[in-house]
């Protein structure tokens, strides 16, 4: 079956380019049309490393690598699981949607890489470090309290700090071993109402701190959101970390905000920030930076450019950020490529890529009453402007009450799946776009294998998805209705994910085998052979 079916004859060409409007000569914004929010970045030599937020997903805090600021690949994660608590384990009716680990900081200091983050659920701050950011191993520290949206900073005198907070920004000094706040160390608010240089009528107070030092001065970047306006970049500078700090408006265009600036090996500067873009999530943009009178000036005449002629074009997000997977594993391969993340902490006894070579087996480990609480849901990002994912599964070993298939995961989720009821299998489409899950349509399934497909259109914020099935991988039938996708805050607080799942509603122990997961950057194909 693996060689008999594949996604459109021109899939390889399609997958090579995600931003289909990108010219052959230059990069274009958005740099990554997928959910990569709260970016933090460091350059070591001619290589850039970027960390980002994936909250309740495991493994977490993805580490991405680039040599040109445009083309990125996931090379590692800071942790496999953030912590062993009910919320992150989807245990005892709890979950961590919209929480988990938030905005990270990434540093390189004296031959070591440092990545830090925090979690309001556990009320802790986490710091990870390694001499090899791409392979590890990592050492770790965790301490209370959770320092919100902090920026980890190693100063020239060897002391280490975090600057964090919302509105009133606080500087704290850490112990030398990074195990907590230093007793008797600096611990003071250094900027009051950091957003006030832009607005006093604030909807989102200044947060998302990122701190750098340049030519002997300290520069702090924050995001704020004036009420009735758009997300905005605020910049402060000072001669000392403790201040006084002077601030100004950094950028106010298209809602592109939260990030910092970074230099290239040849001395140019770029700003990296994200933009809320509906259901696909928060997507990264780059803006050129010039230094004028000791201040970084962002954008072109205060605007975020569409084209970036100084940077090379994107080669696409496949396979660096998202990727197809045949579930074939050779000796020495990772069990799961880095593009995959579990929805919450996995239960590793109940999934396998070796039990049936060439297939991903998902085994139900318990009975659940609602879709969002199902453990071992395997996910990848959706991406824009359009995308589609297809899979095939063997349902021979499902138990009564089981439901397994392919979802578009968010609070307003939808899925196409096989559901077993009273010994009979049905293909079903479920839509929770209205806030309540509704089985919109079903069709009997009289064979043990079926192909399923989910498609998304994020172009011009259309934010719609739809589902199809095929009995032979050639002819596809739409099922159900259109899913109106919604980016929900604070619930989930991330872009939609493709998700493979197996859900028991009556008895645990059934399993399904997924044959492949194949991506395309276009929708509307009627034939996948």
* Mean pLDDT for back-to-back runs of 10 residues, the chain (529 residues): 43 37 77 98 98 98 98 98 98 96 98 98 98 97 98 97 98 98 98 96 96 98 96 98 98 98 98 98 98 98 97 97 97 96 98 98 97 98 98 98 98 98 97 97 98 98 98 97 95 96 98 98 66
Separation of alpha carbons 236 and 218, rounded Å: 8
Would you state the CATH architecture of domain 341-520?
Sandwich (2.60)
Angle at 63 between CA 59 and CA 64, to 5 degrees: 130
Angle at 519 between CA 516 and CA 524, to 5 degrees: 120
Instruction: Indicate the DSSP class of residue 461.
Output: G
Separation of alpha carbons 363 and 382, rounded Å: 24
Does this model's pTM top 0.85? My answer is: yes
The answer to whether domain 19-308 and domain 341-520 are alike in fold is no
Edge-first strand order for the sheet with 282-292 is 257-263, 269-276, 282-292, 295-298
pLDDT value of residue 4: 40
Contact by Cβ (8 Å): 388, 455: yes
pLDDT value of residue 490: 86
User: DSSP per residue over 85-99, as a string?
Assistant: -HHHHT-TT---TT-
Angle at 37 between CA 265 and CA 24, to 5 degrees: 55
Residues 6+ apart with CB under 8 A from 44: 108, 113
Of 221, 194, 217, the C-alpha closest to 294 is 217
Of 23, 102, 32, the C-alpha closest to 74 is 32
Q: Which tokens is 120 given? A: 């309001």
Q: Does domain 19-308 have CATH number 2.115.10.20?
A: yes
Q: Rounded to the nearest 5°, which phi and psi values hold at 348?
A: -70, -15
Domain ranges of the chain: 19-308, 341-520
Separation of alpha carbons 48 and 38, rounded Å: 16
Of 121, 138, 122, 131, the C-alpha closest to 61 is 138
pLDDT value of residue 3: 43
């Amino acid at each position: 079956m693996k060689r008999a079916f594949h996604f459109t004859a021109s899939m390889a060409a399609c997958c090579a380019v995600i931003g289909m409007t990108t010219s052959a000569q230059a990069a274009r914004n958005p740099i990554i049309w997928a959910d990569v929010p709260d970016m933090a970045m460091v350059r070591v030599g001619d290589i850039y490393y970027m960390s980002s937020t994936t909250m309740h997903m495991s493994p977490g805090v993805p580490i991405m690598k680039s040599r040109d600021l445009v083309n990125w690949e996931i090379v590692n994660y800071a942790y496999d699981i953030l912590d062993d608590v009910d919320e992150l384990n989807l245990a005892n009716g709890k979950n961590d949607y919209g929480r988990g680990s938030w905005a990270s900081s990434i540093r390189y200091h004296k031959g070591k890489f440092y990545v830090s983050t925090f979690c309001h659920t556990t009320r802790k701050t986490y710091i990870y470090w390694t001499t090899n950011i791409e392979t590890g191993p990592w050492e770790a520290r965790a301490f209370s309290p959770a320092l919100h949206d902090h920026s980890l900073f190693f100063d020239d005198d060897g002391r280490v700090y975090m600057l964090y907070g919302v509105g009133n920004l606080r500087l704290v000094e850490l112990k030398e071993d990074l195990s907590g706040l230093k007793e008797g160390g600096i611990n003071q608010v250094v900027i009051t109402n950091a957003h006030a240089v832009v607005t006093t009528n604030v909807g989102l107070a200044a947060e998302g701190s990122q701190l750098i030092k340049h030519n002997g001065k300290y520069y702090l970047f924050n995001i704020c959101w004036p009420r009735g306006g758009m997300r905005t970049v605020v910049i402060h500078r000072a001669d000392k970390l403790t201040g006084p700090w002077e601030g100004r408006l950094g950028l106010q265009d298209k809602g592109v905000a939260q990030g910092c600036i970074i230099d290239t090996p040849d001395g140019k500067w770029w700003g990296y920030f994200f933009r809320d873009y509906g259901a696909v999530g928060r997507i990264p943009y780059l803006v050129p930076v010039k230094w004028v009178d000791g201040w970084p000036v962002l954008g072109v005449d205060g605007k975020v450019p569409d084209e970036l002629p100084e940077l090379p074009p994107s080669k696409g997000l496949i396979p660096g950020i998202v990727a197809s997977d045949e579930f074939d594993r050779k000796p020495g391969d990772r069990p799961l490529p880095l593009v995959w993340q579990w929805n919450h902490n996995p239960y590793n006894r109940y999934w396998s890529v070796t039990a049936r070579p060439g297939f991903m087996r998902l085994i139900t480990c318990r009975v659940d009453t609602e879709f969002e609480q199902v453990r071992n849901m395997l996910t990848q990002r959706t991406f824009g402007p359009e995308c589609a994912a297809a899979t095939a599964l063997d349902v021979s070993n499902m138990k009564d009450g089981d439901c397994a298939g392919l979802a578009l995961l968010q609070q307003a989720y939808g899925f196409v799946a096989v559901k077993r009821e009273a010994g009979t299998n049905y293909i079903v489409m479920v839509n929770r776009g209205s806030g309540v899950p509704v089985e919109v349509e079903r069709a009997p399934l009289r064979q043990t294998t079926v192909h399923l497909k989910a498609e998304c259109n994020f172009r011009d914020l259309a934010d719609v998805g739809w589902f199809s099935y095929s009995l032979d991988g050639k002819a596809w039938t739409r099922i159900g209705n259109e899913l109106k996708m919604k980016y929900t805050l604070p619930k989930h607080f991330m872009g939609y994910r493709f998700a493979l799942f197996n859900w028991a509603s009556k008895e645990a122990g059934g399993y399904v085998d997924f044959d492949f997961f194949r991506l395309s950057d276009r929708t509307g194909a009627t034939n996948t052979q």
